[in-house]
Structure 1
Amino acid sequence: MDYQPFGVGVLDAELSSYRQDSEGRSFVVDKDYEEGDRSPAARVYRRGLPEWTPDVTNYMPKHFPQQECAIRCNLHGYLALPVFDSNIQLCVGVLELLMSSKYISYSYEVQQVHNALETQNLISPQGFAFPSFDVPNESRQNNLDKIHGILKKACEIHSLPLAQTWAVSQHTSFVSHENAIVKSCSSFDTRCVGKVCMSTTDLPFYVRDMSLWPFLKACRERHLDRSCGLVGKVLLSRGSCFCGDVTKLSEAEYPLIHNARMNRLTSSFAIYLCSVEADDDYVLEFYLPPDIRDSGQVSNLVQTLKQNIPMSSGFELGDKPCTVLSVNMEPDVIQTSSDSVADNFMSSDSELTMANPTNLSIEITSKRRKIESLTEMVTAEISHNSNKKKIRFSVSMGLAYLENEVLRSFELKGKKLRLKYMDEDGDLILIASDEDLMYAVATTGTNNNINLTCLSD
């Protein structure tokens, strides 16, 4: 590593010590060399896949020769990214990042590195999906174009605000977890380790309501466990699923719950789609207008899909009995003698329990007005472990200001924070943006006071 470029966030003796140790080391990356995988950098170079861990103590010493030095230098999080020349599409180096805190997710950092390298005609993994360096598969691209046409047609005919496609993430990285190096999907989040995840990245979507771009972006930046939510149920059953109000699901069941609330999305329908020739599995997810009260329009939507997916298209639509989730989230499987998804929906009206759309509209309007008027000072009572502190702030100052105040008050410098609030259903909801903070204050704050829970790593 001698003479290779490097940078430090702060100048201190510990970082200098680790850098000096790195300069005295070299690793063979020849593919025929049996011991070429003894260091993370060598493994990343040879495999062309990123490797990371929230804490270097997760490594076995034989897998990370500099582990002892890193621990001595008070370093925890570790990330190694392959760097490719965009012209020859070969790995030309490895970029290592070490952190003083135990990181859970590196998505932001990875994306920033990707953007910076791109200006120099170099490529590195993106924050939420590892980029493909192969020539695009013409057959697969043709299938994706067909799916986009299906989504667009359905949205235009039925005035749907948003439709998108989910599939099992095909990209992987390597993560050191509990003293073992295991494959993980490429979201750089420990919540994905050891799981099969679904992603919308690089898959077709169609948006009629332009105000829903933030929600679409949130979906593309988040991987879902294959067992979670409507799309997970649909993939496993190869059928379809309808939920009248996804915001009534728990955060564990539907991690995008607070994003759906912020964008006033409720009714959702998902259905399985299979590409027969390519043997690829997809889930088409449609968000319905908020005034949908019964399954009538859903039945019409399924009929439209069937008309636009003939046998000659190379796709097969899921035809298993539909699962309907009512507001209390008790699943009901609609069983009928017909194998038609549309017929299943036509017979399922009695199973649906939808909130009164008029009352829902009034409640949303009231909350929106309250959010727009948040200019006064708010007192937040923050709980961290067994400690509690009160912090005065203005919502207009944003989430970053509040987090800095929390770091200072609880003396958590160098830690990564997660602030959560308890919603009306008693679920702890993550505050991930300024909009989330405004929503939390507007919906759960009383007399300019709000209770928050702080978790730190």
Structure 2
Amino acid sequence: MMRNEFVLEQPTVPVSGDSRYLTPLWVSVNVEEPRQSDSSQSVAIGSELQANSLYHQVSISCKIRAVLKLLYFREQHVLVQFWSPLFVGKHLRLTTIDQPFGVGVANEELCFYRKDSEHKAFLVDTDHAEEDLSPLARVFMRGLPEWTSDLTNYKTRAFPQLDCAVRCKLHGYLALPVFDPATGFCVGVLELLVSSKLKDFAYEVKHIQQELKIRNLTSPQVFDGPALNVFNKHRKNELDEIYGILKVVCDSHNLPIAQTWMVSPSASYFVHEKVLEKSCSSFNTRCLRKVCMSTAIPFYVRDFRAWPFMLASKNCHLEMSRGVAGRALSSRGSCFCVDVTRFDEEEYPLVHNARMCRLTSCFAVFLHCVEGNNDYVLDFFLNDSRHVLNMVQTLKHNVKVSSRFELGDTSSIEVVDPPAYLSVNRTDSSGSESIVTDTSDPDYADVMDHCPSTNDSIEEVSDNFTIAVMVNVTFNMFVEQFTFPLVHGLSKLKNEVAKRFKLENRLRLKYIDDDNDLILICCDEDLKSALDASGSMNLICLEG
């Protein structure tokens, strides 16, 4: 098919499978397979290095064209084009001339944008201020993806084709670096433009990455776990020990599944409201400007009915302070929920997967590796919530055996929305442990009556129960969040704040009351006044 001087190959539409409901690409046919004669001719004209480079470039272009023919998209108004590095004189530039491209529908707008692209080239071998670079140049030089839900988020000088893109009704944008695994070098950039203002490019990134892999090319994967790549022997030993801890705890208490979470690394860049910012690897706008967590190796699945939940977790990001694992990370402590299926999807994106796999009770605890200075959250699902503290004791014992780790605070466990049948361990005067399930027990009833519905805690101290609250402390422009048992008093609270902000001088804590006045906390009794209706404490820290 000819369209504005382009020769496009008609796609083959599948007759079965999910792909038949999606849009394939009309792919350009102006790339020839590399031939040995091409290399020989180049040697006669120039150096052998030039010949090998030319042969390699043509080979990459042919692989990209083969990839484009295998891609399917959620809408028709889509353009995908490859930008290849090429020496022009002494400088290396990205160009899309004679490089493969594909369109979902061969209309005037997409062909016009493609034509305009062929008149652009971007310098990638010199240093420039970041705002003077195009997205394509940044992606090639950094080796990291860049994307936005709407091209109008870019400043005009940062996106030379912005006016053309808007005129052609293109909004969603994604640029992926393509690597040759044999050399580790970036061999070009795959650019994707669509008419929709997509909130999530996860499907496209995953699909493209899978097809590149078939042709021995790679690109950053969506939802790359932060610990999937083991860089050294020490890190491998660290992860092996965590796996051993998960396995022992699950086997000892018949737990269906346990997972490890880490803060997601900055693995891409996104443009939002004219600002270019680092982002995690989710390619989802719900993660913008947020600290997210993703699952990492290791995990342990004892009940294979929970295997689908593990797979879903690998494709999900949790916002810090959300869900059980997020709360454990933000407090650097521990958290328990008797039934995670009560969460809404905003609070816990895996809620539907938990329901399908019949997973309810969940305990999460913060874990710090002293040697590698790495932070984790261990996430355990229980078949019986009554045995949570027995499980915690086993966990503490196994972590203590290893000098490599420090476990987050488990003396005061934050409990999220505990129902009436939650049970806790108690130790009587003889030292023996028992299980309390009778809600008529005076001590048990008293703690439940006084616990706020969203931030409760239980503490294992003989027959005593204490309440911990969520504390948010602001110092200068920094914020720390953690749980703190009120029974410990103001002095210990100040010590905790000083430790977290690394303060050596004396400090004062204040809170804002209902009249918007700043009130100094002078004694333990004032802590109760600082509590707000939600059961949390919002404080301001001042030195001196």
TM-score normalised by the chain length of structure 2: 0.59
Alpha-carbon shift at residue 326 of structure 1 (Å): 3.1
Taking the aligned partners of 1:279 and 1:124, their CA distance within structure 2 comes to 28
Aligned residue in 1 for 2:12: none
1:16 aligns with 2:140: no
- Alignment partner of 1:330 out of 451, 454, 457: 454
Question: What's the CA shift string for 1:63-89, capped at 9, x where partnerless?
Answer: 111111011001110000001110111
Taking the aligned partners of 1:268 and 1:186, their CA distance within structure 2 comes to 26
Quick check: which one's strand share is greater? 2
Aligned residue in 1 for 2:315: 221
CA contact (8 A) 1:38 1:65 kept: no
Taking the aligned partners of 1:130 and 1:42, their CA distance within structure 2 comes to 26
1:67 aligns with 2:162: yes
Distance 1:232 1:132, change over 3 A: closer
Which residues in structure 2 correspond to 1:199-210 (within 5 Å)?
199-200=294-295, 202-210=296-304
Question: What's the CA shift string for 1:330-363, capped at 9, x where partnerless?
Answer: 3212356x5xxxx7xx866999xxxxxxxxxxxx
1:95 aligns with 2:190: yes
Alpha-carbon shift at residue 242 of structure 1 (Å): 1.0
Alpha-carbon shift at residue 59 of structure 1 (Å): 0.8
Taking the aligned partners of 1:51 and 1:318, their CA distance within structure 2 comes to 36
Match of 1:27, SS?
strand
Alpha-carbon shift at residue 39 of structure 1 (Å): 0.9
Q: Answer with 1 or 2: which has the greater Rg.
A: 2
CA contact (8 A) 1:248 1:327 kept: no
Taking the aligned partners of 2:98 and 2:270, their CA distance within structure 1 comes to 28
Alpha-carbon shift at residue 250 of structure 1 (Å): 2.5
Which residues in structure 2 correspond to 1:3-402 (within 5 Å)?
3-33=98-128, 37-129=132-224, 136-200=231-295, 202-289=296-383, 292-294=384-386, 297-310=387-400, 312-320=402-410, 321-327=412-418, 329-335=453-459, 338=461
Alpha-carbon shift at residue 311 of structure 1 (Å): 5.5
Question: What's the CA shift string for 1:198-232, capped at 9, x where partnerless?
Answer: 110x4210111112222111111011111211111
CA contact (8 A) 2:266 2:278 kept: no
Which one-letter code corresponds to 2:457 in the other structure? V
Match of 1:75, SS?
coil
Distance 1:293 1:39, change over 3 A: closer
Taking the aligned partners of 1:348 and 1:207, their CA distance within structure 2 comes to 33
Q: How many residues align?
A: 339
Taking the aligned partners of 2:134 and 2:208, their CA distance within structure 1 comes to 22
Alpha-carbon shift at residue 23 of structure 1 (Å): 0.4
Task: Give the CA RMSD over aligned residues.
Answer: 2.4
Alpha-carbon shift at residue 307 of structure 1 (Å): 2.2
Distance 1:180 1:171, change over 3 A: closer
Taking the aligned partners of 1:19 and 1:38, their CA distance within structure 2 comes to 20
CA contact (8 A) 1:130 1:171 kept: no
Question: What's the CA shift string for 1:78-131, capped at 9, x where partnerless?
Answer: 000001110111111100011111111111110111111111211101121288
Aligned residue in 2 for 1:362: none
Aligned residue in 1 for 2:97: 2
Question: What's the CA shift string for 1:154-178, capped at 9, x where partnerless?
Answer: 1111110010001101232110101
CA contact (8 A) 2:202 2:282 kept: yes
CA contact (8 A) 1:234 1:240 kept: yes
Distance 1:14 1:106, change over 3 A: same
Taking the aligned partners of 2:128 and 2:230, their CA distance within structure 1 comes to 29
Taking the aligned partners of 1:220 and 1:144, their CA distance within structure 2 comes to 17
Which one-letter code corresponds to 1:160 in the other structure? L
Taking the aligned partners of 2:343 and 2:418, their CA distance within structure 1 comes to 9
Distance 1:95 1:108, change over 3 A: same
CA contact (8 A) 1:109 1:127 kept: no
CA contact (8 A) 2:253 2:391 kept: yes
Distance 1:330 1:193, change over 3 A: closer
Taking the aligned partners of 2:288 and 2:354, their CA distance within structure 1 comes to 25
Distance 1:285 1:188, change over 3 A: same
Question: What's the CA shift string for 1:216-265, capped at 9, x where partnerless?
Answer: 11111011111211111111212111111111123222221122112211
Match of 1:316, SS?
strand
Distance 1:133 1:237, change over 3 A: closer
Alpha-carbon shift at residue 309 of structure 1 (Å): 1.6
Match of 1:139, SS?
helix
CA contact (8 A) 1:242 1:324 kept: yes
Taking the aligned partners of 1:187 and 1:35, their CA distance within structure 2 comes to 23
Distance 1:86 1:36, change over 3 A: farther
Question: What's the CA shift string for 1:173-203, capped at 9, x where partnerless?
Answer: 1101011111111100000111110110x42
Alpha-carbon shift at residue 25 of structure 1 (Å): 0.4
CA contact (8 A) 1:59 1:176 kept: yes
Which one-letter code corresponds to 1:227 in the other structure? S
Which one-letter code corresponds to 1:334 in the other structure? I
Indicate the structure whose relative CO is greater, using CA pairs within 8 Å and at least 6 residues apart.
1
Match of 2:360, SS?
coil
- Identity, in percent, stands at 54
Taking the aligned partners of 1:73 and 1:243, their CA distance within structure 2 comes to 50
CA contact (8 A) 1:271 1:317 kept: yes
CA contact (8 A) 1:89 1:133 kept: no
TM-score normalised by the chain length of structure 1: 0.70
CA contact (8 A) 1:36 1:42 kept: no
CA contact (8 A) 1:55 1:76 kept: yes
Which one-letter code corresponds to 2:249 in the other structure? A
